[in-house]
Amino acid sequence: MTTSLPDKIYFKIGEVSEIVGVEPYVLRYWETEFDLLKPSKAPSRHRLYKKKDVELLLNIKRLLYTEGFTIEGARKKLKEVKKEEKDQLKLPLSDQKYKTALAKIKKDLESLRRLLS
């Protein structure tokens, strides 16, 4: 994202509202529409958003306001993106990448053995 987020663990809804540029009621509505958006709640029942939640909200706003997606279209797009990210993690490495990785591990182990001797 182009927006630089403050270095914090949690953000209150008012802070997120300012960062994203929408009213708090819009954030609460999006929470009901997007399953991926699940801010935690403090014991006082106030919403606490993590950086990943704020980044997701910025992405939702971009899809809805800039790219013109409907809520349903944005929901599908976000699920597709998340599925693609998961699928990329599952892709097997090519044989050459395995050989290169194993050769590096072997070299590192040999260096470690020499240091310990």
Q: How far apart are CA 56 and CA 65, in angstroms?
A: 14
Please check whether the domain covering 11-116 is classified as CATH 1.10.357.20.
Answer: no
pLDDT tens digits, residue range 13-47? 999 999 999 999 999 999 999 999 999 999 999 99
Per-residue pLDDT band for 82 (boundaries 50, 70, 90) equals: confident
3-class DSSP state for residue 71? helix
Stated pTM of the model: 0.70
Positive or negative: CA dihedral 77, 78, 84, 88: positive
Q: Per-domain residue ranges for the chain?
A: 11-116
Task: Find the helix or strand (DSSP H, E) in which 11 lies.
Answer: strand 11-12
